[in-house]
Structure 1
Amino acid sequence: MAAETAKTQYIDAANGVKFAYRFLGKPSETPLVLHCHFRSNMDYWDPLLLNALAAQRRVIIFDQAGVGRSSGVAASTFQGWADNVISLIEALGIKKIDLFGFSMGGCAAQMIALTAPTLIRKLILGGTAASMPGENSNISGIVWPREDPTPEEITMLATKTDPADTEEALTFSFFPHTDFGRAAAKAYWKRVLERNVPEEPVMLRLLNEEATKNQTASYADFVTPNPRNSYDRLGELEMPVLVMNGDNDLLVMPSLSWELLVRIPNAQLIIYPKAGHGFLYQYAELVAHNVNMFLDGAGEGAQVPKL
C-alpha cells in the first residue's frame, strides 16, 4: 500500500488510548516504526520518503496520544511519549521493531530504546538531540557549551495555528533560506497534498494550543539536567544506531548529532549537504536508501569503546 492511499486504522491500547496508524509496504520480519516531529501528525510524513522505505520493508506510521487522529492527551515528558509508543507496539502484537525518530520524535525514540531495549533491533535518530548534560556528566569529545538554535525558526514552528500558515511555517523552519531550500520545500508540500483517501482529508493544521504546550513542556523537561533522561544513559544503547542531520539545521544544530555519535557506543553519522532540519524531505530518496542500507546490515561492526 502506497503512502498516498493507505487508509488509517485504529487500535485500542492498554493505556486507554485509541491509536491511529497506517501500515505501508510489504510484510517484513522487523517493521520500521516512524515517530514524527513537534506539532505534526502522520500526514506530514513525505510520501516519497515513505514509499522508498516501504519498497524494502513494512513501515508503520502513527499519531501520538492526543495528536492527529489518536485519542488521549499529549504527554508532557518524552518518557510519557515513549510509554505511549510501547503501548501501541504491544497492542499491535509486535515483538521487535526498527525505530526512526525525527526531531522531537527522536527524543522520544531515545527514551523508547532506553525503556524497552529488547524491543528495538536498530535505531535511527534524525535531526534530534540528547537531553541536557548535568553538572557531573561526562562532556569530553562534544561541542560545549552547546550551540543554541536560532529563535526565529522555533517561534515560527511553535506559534502558527491557521492551517493556511502551515506550509509557511515548515518552509521557514525546516528548509534553508535559499532558492534551493524553497524549491525543496515546495516540492515536499506538493507531495504531502497528493494523499488521496476521500474519507480522510489531509490534516493540515499543526497541533492545537493545549497539546502544543504539553509537547513544549516535554522538551523543557528534556533540557533540564536529570539523570533519568537520555544523555547520561546513551551508553546503555547496545543496538546499532544511525544518526542523521542536515548541515544547515537551525532547529537542532549539527553539533548535537556529533554529540550523539560520540556518546552512543555503536553509532554512525550521516550529514546531508545544503540541508536544513527537513533534510529527510530534501533528500527523501537518498535518506530512504541510506536507512534501508543500514537496516539491511551495511556499516555494522563499527562499534567503538564506551567513554
Structure 2
Amino acid sequence: MTIELLAPAAAEAPTRFVERHGRRIAYRETGSGTPLILCLRFRGVLDSWDPAFLDALAAEFRVITFDYSGLGQSGGAASYRAEVMARDAIDLADALGIESFAVGGWSLGGMAAQVVTAMVPERVTHLVLIGTTPPGRVEHPSEAAFLEHALKPVNDLADEEILFFEPASASSRAAAAASNARIAARSADRSPPIAPETYLALLQDRHAEDLFPDAGGYRDFLANCGIPILVIAGDHEIVFPTPNWFALNRVWKSLHLMVLPQMGHGPQHQAPEFVADLIKSFVRTRQRADVAA
C-alpha cells in the first residue's frame, strides 16, 4: 500500500534552506502540481503572505515562497533592485531542480517576477502580477498616503487597512483584520522583520526617476513574448495605480487585466480564495502563444 504524504498547510510549513552561489536562501513550500514561485513585496518576508491565500493556491500548485537575499532568514547581500531579486527566484528554482514554473509577484515582487520572465522566458509558463507596475515611465504616481504609512518602523492594523485594503469600505476593513489575524497566528519559525535602517537604505540604492526602470527592455519583451500574463489589481491601488495598466491592454498581446472592486494593494489578502481561483483558472486554461511583433 502506498501512503501519500500531504504537504503541510502554509501556517505550519517549515522553513528550509538551500545554498546557492555562496549564500543561503530561506524558503517554504506547500501543495503539489505546477510549481508557482512567488516574489515578495517591499518590507516583505516569508510571514508577510496570508496563509489562506497560499493554502487556496496549494490545492493546485506547488507553492514556493522565499526571503530575498540578506532579508528575513536568507543570507547574502540585500538589494531591492529587480534584477537581483529576480536572480534569487531563479537560483532557488535551480537549487530545487525546477526547470519549468509559473512565477508571481506582489508589489515590488511583481517587478522581480517580470524580470525573471525576461531573463529565463523558456522556463516561465505563466506570469502572475498582483498590485504592481509595468516597467518604464508611467502616468499615474503613487498616492502620498503610501509613503506616509509604508515607512513607519512598525505597521499596525490601521496602517495595513490603508496600505493593502480599501479603508473606505467596512467589508474591506473587516477583511484586513481577518487577514492580519491569520498572518499573526504562526507562533514559531517566523522570519524576522526588516529593520528600518535596512529598508530605507535599500530604497535609496534603487532610487530612480522611474519606479521600475526599463534598462533591460522589459516592456517591449513582455509586449510580444506570448507568455500568458495576468495582472490582478484593486480599483483603489494607492501604491501602483491600476490605470497605468490600461494603456497596455492592446499593446501587451498576452495581457489579462482583472480589476477588483472595493480593494486596494493586497487583493489576495482581502479575497484569498477568489484571487487564488483566478490564478488557478488562468494557469489551467491560458497557454503560451506565438505572437507577431
- TM-score norm. by structure 1 comes to 0.85
Q: CA deviation at 1:172?
A: 2.0
Structure 1, residues 86-110: CA drift from partner, whole Å, max 9, x if none? 1221111110111111111001111
Q: CA deviation at 1:272?
A: 0.7
Aligned with residue 13 of structure 1, among 20, 26, 30 = 20
CA distance in 1 between counterparts of 2:10 and 2:85 reads 24
CA distance in 2 between counterparts of 1:215 and 1:266 reads 31
CA distance in 1 between counterparts of 2:251 and 2:78 reads 29
Aligned with residue 161 of structure 1, among 148, 153, 159 = 153
* Compared CA separation, residues 161 and 182, structure 1 to 2 (3 A): same
Partner of 2:128: 124
Q: CA deviation at 1:6?
A: 0.5
1:220 maps to 2:208: yes
Secondary structure of residue in 2 paired with 1:58:
strand
Return the letter of the residue paired with 2:254. Answer: N
1:172 maps to 2:162: yes
Q: Which moved more, 1:187-196 or 1:268-277?
A: 187-196
Could you tell me which runs of 5 or more consecutive residues in structure 2 were left unpaired when the two chains were aligned.
Answer: 1-7
- Counterparts of 1:199-278 in structure 2, within 5 Å, are 200-201=189-190, 203=192, 205-215=193-203, 217-218=205-206, 220=208, 222-223=210-211, 226-278=214-266
Structure 1, residues 118-162: CA drift from partner, whole Å, max 9, x if none? 1211110111111224xxxxxxxxxxx7112211222311x2213
Q: Which moved more, 1:121-130 or 1:165-174?
A: 165-174
Conserved? CA contact 1:34–1:60, under 8 Å: yes
Q: CA deviation at 1:230?
A: 2.4
The total of aligned residue pairs comes to 285
Q: CA deviation at 1:229?
A: 4.8
Aligned with residue 185 of structure 1, among 136, 158, 176 = 176
Q: CA deviation at 1:252?
A: 1.1
* Compared CA separation, residues 212 and 84, structure 1 to 2 (3 A): farther
* Compared CA separation, residues 13 and 168, structure 1 to 2 (3 A): farther
The Cα RMSD (Å) is 2.3
- TM-score norm. by structure 2 comes to 0.89
Q: CA deviation at 1:233?
A: 3.1
Conserved? CA contact 1:248–1:277, under 8 Å: yes
Conserved? CA contact 2:70–2:77, under 8 Å: yes
Q: CA deviation at 1:301?
A: 8.0
Q: CA deviation at 1:224?
A: 7.1
Partner of 1:24: 30
Structure 1, residues 177-208: CA drift from partner, whole Å, max 9, x if none? 22222211111101101224x3x1464x3454
Partner of 1:290: 278
Conserved? CA contact 2:129–2:230, under 8 Å: yes
CA distance in 1 between counterparts of 2:260 and 2:172 reads 13
* Compared CA separation, residues 31 and 167, structure 1 to 2 (3 A): same
* Compared CA separation, residues 219 and 55, structure 1 to 2 (3 A): farther
CA distance in 1 between counterparts of 2:149 and 2:208 reads 18
CA distance in 2 between counterparts of 1:236 and 1:220 reads 26
Aligned with residue 39 of structure 2, among 23, 28, 35 = 35
Partner of 1:139: none
Q: CA deviation at 1:227?
A: 3.9
* Compared CA separation, residues 4 and 74, structure 1 to 2 (3 A): same
Conserved? CA contact 1:160–1:166, under 8 Å: no
Conserved? CA contact 1:25–1:54, under 8 Å: yes
Partner of 1:107: 111
